[in-house]
Structure formats: structure tokens, C-alpha cells
Amino acid sequence: MSTIILGGGLTGLALARLLHEQGEEVIVLEKESEYGGLCRSKSVEGFTFDIGGSHIIFSRDSEVLAFMHRVLGENRTERHRETKILYKGRFVPYPFENVLYELPKEDLFFCLNEYIKTLIGVETGAIPLPENFREWMYYTFGKGIAECYLVPYNEKIWNYPTVKMSHHWVEGRIPRPPVEDVIKAAVGIPTEGYIHQVVFSYPQSGGIEALVHAIAKPVAGMVRTDFSVQSVERISGRWHVSDGREEVVADTCIVTIPLQDLVPLLAGVPPVVRDAVRNLRYNSLITVSLGVKGSVPPYSWLYLPDIGGGLANRVSFPSNYSTGVAPEGYGSVLAEVTWNEGDRVSEMTDSAVIADVVGSLARAGLIDPASVVHQSLFRQKYAYVVYDLMYLTNITPIRDYFRQIGLPLVGRFAQFEYLNMDGCIRMAMDFVAGRAR
């Protein structure tokens, strides 16, 4: 059987490898000059930066984690998470609810008191079930933790009102903290949250793109870059994919590219499906990469919930992940800014965004602007799936339609699900396993 895979990101390459291992003939069509999607890295002036945001290798899924470790082989470092939240000028350990004792006393009381009141209210039925993401944060963590950290941070990273977001996607992703952990956190007994990422891995050299290249190694010759698909059509039971100059034909076709890019390639898509795709929300991403002379703070990454504290919502320190991503005697910083077409950030120049990031990090005491020896900026159109209140209404007819025409959707922006790297690989594994049955 021959298969065309649209898109050479992490999901597409994982699919290609797994199908190839089952004996299928595969070809991956990627419109960019390099494959990797959001998992690409750039090496400049001795620094290596992940241009699709900070990535680390961890997972609750032991099979996926073993797969990532296996393909990387010796090109892998291991680190203990040292993550902070910049809260009212304090570098508070993450997760927030596990370190309440480090808050100002009035905030500690606010968070603990509201958590207990909410817990009682939920158990007695006095608090109704949440109807949106913001209500879910109040319902799960209480007013204090929600208002001090969760709401401002999530509104900053999602760039969208949390009251207009669905909460269906957070169950299992963000657990309710055990009451004993919250009480321990309030009285100063250390606890550890999100233990599946306490220890994480990262490539020693090459940035996160090294993982992509390791996955793609057996099928690298089957990846066509600079192939900008113009049409996808099923003729006499086979799929014909053309870039306007060349046509590729195969028995099956799998989609990993964004739905927004897919629909214009197809003829005869019903208006209800086109409208649903148009109404799906997503965020774009800017990454600001800084190389600095000397060391950087000893953190893995840092959350920045303060709306007035600059554009960046998260900053990471790749040179703390690996000694191979910065020259000796230098450190690296990667800041992330989410944006949408038409908003304030979309109208800012690259230099203005960089200046905002450098200024805000300097005010926080994280870098000395005089030590910056490299700065660059990268933009990604498709970065985060946003689950607005109409998400389920919109996604249902889309998936039904593509299921009917026999065009499977796999991966973050084809399935339109907020998946981490391990989730993309798991989806590829499950798809290939299901196909083999």
C-alpha cells in the first residue's frame, strides 16, 4: 500500500516512520524548505534555539517516552525541573498551589481559605458545575489560586477571555490538587506537583529538532520539502496530490497539516464544514531568542502571569537544558509571546517586540541588557488550539465530513486538539495500530 502524508511536522514524520516499519510505501509532502514544523531549531552564532517555543521531553505515557529516548540514543541529557512563577516580584516555585507558603501572608490566607471554602461548596453541591474555563478554575482551585495566578496567566497565554473558553479539555490535563498537599503547602511542608515532568530530557546537541531528525532518520529520503500542495483529489479510488507542477498519486492520504490550510485544497467541501473550519480559533506564536555573555538564572523555565509585566508569558533557559546549545561561557534565553492577527502584537515590528521582551526581563532581574550578544525573532502562524465555547459545535461536522470522505486527520492542527509532543506521537501510534488491525 502506498500513502501520502500531508505535512512534515512531528506527527507526519512519526506516522511515516511507523508505517514504513510496517512495510508501507510512504511519501511526506512538506511545503517548507525544512521539515519539523513547530519542532524546528535554528543554530545562529553558536546558539541553538527552538523556534516553535520551548520543548522538553517528558510523558506519563511510558511507551511514548521510551520511544523518544530510544531514537535519541546517546544524544540526550537529563535534568531536574527547576521552574518558577514570577509573582509580585518573587520567584515562586511551580506549581503555584504546592508552594503557597512562599506567598505574602495575605495572599496565602486568601488562597487557602478560598480553596477550603470551594472544596466544601463543591462537596455539598452549593457550587454549581462550571460552564466555562474560568469557572472551572474557580471550581477546582478556589477563588484565591484562580485570581492570584491561574486566570491572569491563562488569559495571557491564550490571548482570549477564559470566560469564553470551554473547559472540557482540562479534565485529566490539570488535576485538582489534593487537599492535604494544599494544606502542607500553606504551612511550609514541601510537596511536588506534576511529578511526570520533575525529571525531563532534552537533546545534548541540535535542539528539539534533533528529536525530529532522529524519528525521521529511516524515512528522511521519503520526505519532499518545498512541495506546496495546491490540490487534493480522489480519482478512481486513489488520492492525487498536486503542487501545480507535479502530481503525486497513492492509495491513501493522511492529513497532518492545519485544517485551515487543508480545506482550500479540496473541491466540494460543504459550506457548513467550511464555515466550521473558519470559526475554529487558534493562537500564533512569537519566540524571541537571546544569547547572553555569562550565565543565566538557574531555572528551567519561568511563567510570567503579570499582564503589565511585558508581552512574554513564558521564558525558558535552553542552556540549562544542555551544554551543547550555547558556546562555553554564554547562556541562552527563549521568550514566548502569543498573538492573533489584528491584535496589538501583530502590528508591532520585530525590533519593538524584542525591545519589550529584553526590557521586561531586565526589570525582573533575569538578564543584563548589556550582556546580550545575540537576538532574533521567529513567528509561527499556527501554535495553540484555542477551545472556545463553540469548539465542540464546530469540530464535530468537520471530523464527520473527513471521516466520510476517507481522509484521516492526525496531529495537533489536523485533529485540532491541544497536544504536546508525546500526544502527537501517541496519536500517530494509535492510528497506525488501528490501521494494522
Partners of 200 in beta bridges: 79
- 322 lies in some domain: no
Q: On the CB side of 294, how many CA atoms lie within 13 Å of its CA?
A: 9
Residues of the chain with pLDDT > 90: what percent? 91
CB 27 within 8 A of CB 232: no
SS3 of 48, please? strand
- 250 lies in some domain: yes
Same domain, 181 and 109: yes
Across 68-77, 162-171, 206-215, least confident range: 162-171
Candidates 278, 274, 254, 275; CA nearest to 266 is 274
Confidence label for 261 from pLDDT (cuts 50, 70 and 90)? very high
- pLDDT tens profile 163-181: 999 999 987 677 677 888 8
Same domain, 189 and 100: yes
pLDDT of residue 309: 87
Same domain, 397 and 270: yes
In sequence order, which residues have a C-beta less than 8 Å from that of residue 134 and are 6 or more positions away?
146, 151, 161, 162, 163, 165
Of 159, 193, 227, the last residue of a domain is: 193
Same domain, 397 and 271: yes
Same domain, 146 and 102: yes
- Average confidence (pLDDT) over 116-143: 96
- 365 lies in some domain: no
Same domain, 235 and 184: no
Instruction: Give me the residue label for grid cell 510523558.
Output: 59
Q: Rounded CA gap, 278 and 273, in Å?
A: 9
pLDDT at 192 exceeding the cut of 90: no
pLDDT of residue 307: 81
Q: Per this entry, what is the length of the chain?
A: 437
- 171 lies in some domain: yes
pLDDT of residue 308: 82
Q: Rounded CA gap, 116 and 291, in Å?
A: 45
CA angle (360, 365, 368) in 5-degree steps: 85
Q: Rounded CA gap, 427 and 419, in Å?
A: 9
- pLDDT tens profile 266-319: 999 999 999 999 999 999 999 999 999 999 999 999 999 998 889 999 999 999
Confidence label for 10 from pLDDT (cuts 50, 70 and 90)? very high
- Average confidence (pLDDT) over 218-243: 98
Candidates 419, 400, 15; CA nearest to 212 is 15
Same domain, 175 and 258: no
Same domain, 231 and 104: no
pLDDT of residue 172: 67
Same domain, 144 and 11: no
Cα 218–chain centre separation: 26
- 295 lies in some domain: no
Confidence label for 193 from pLDDT (cuts 50, 70 and 90)? low
- 125 lies in some domain: yes
Same domain, 11 and 131: no
CATH number of 9's domain: 3.50.50.60
In sequence order, which residues have a C-beta less than 8 Å from that of residue 413 and are 6 or more positions away?
256, 257, 258, 259, 260, 282, 382, 385
Rg of the chain over CA atoms, in angstroms? 23
pTM of the model: 0.95
Q: Rounded CA gap, 433 and 437, in Å?
A: 7
Cα 97–chain centre separation: 22
pLDDT of residue 177: 79
Structure letter (DSSP) for residue 266: S
Of 193, 215, 248, the last residue of a domain is: 193
Same domain, 103 and 189: yes
- 381 lies in some domain: no
DSSP string, 349-402: -HHHHHHHHHHHHHHTTS--GGGEEEEEEEEEEEEEEE-BTTHHHHHHHHHHHH
Specify whether the backbone of 115 is left (phi greater than 0), alpha (psi in -120 to 50) or beta.
Answer: alpha
In sequence order, which residues have a C-beta less than 8 Å from that of residue 74 and are 6 or more positions away?
204
pLDDT at 381 exceeding the cut of 80: yes
- Residue 254's identity, in one-letter code, is I
Same domain, 273 and 393: yes
pLDDT of residue 384: 96
For 153, the domain range is: 96-193
pLDDT at 259 exceeding the cut of 80: yes
CB atoms within 10 A of CB 411: 29
- Count up the domains in the chain and report the number: 2
Q: Measure Cα distances from 245 to 32, 152, 235, 255, 377 in Å.
A: 16, 49, 18, 21, 33
pLDDT at 413 exceeding the cut of 70: yes
- pLDDT tens profile 76-112: 999 999 999 999 999 999 989 988 999 999 999 999 9
Q: Rounded CA gap, 423 and 411, in Å?
A: 8
- 411 lies in some domain: yes
- What is the average pLDDT value for the chain, to the nearest integer? 95
- pLDDT tens profile 13-63: 999 999 999 999 999 999 999 999 999 999 999 999 999 999 999 999 999
Burial class for 377, CB neighbours closer than 10 Å (0-12, 13-18, 19+)? middle
Of 150, 170, 193, the last residue of a domain is: 193
Q: Which three cell numbers stand for residue 369?
A: 541588557
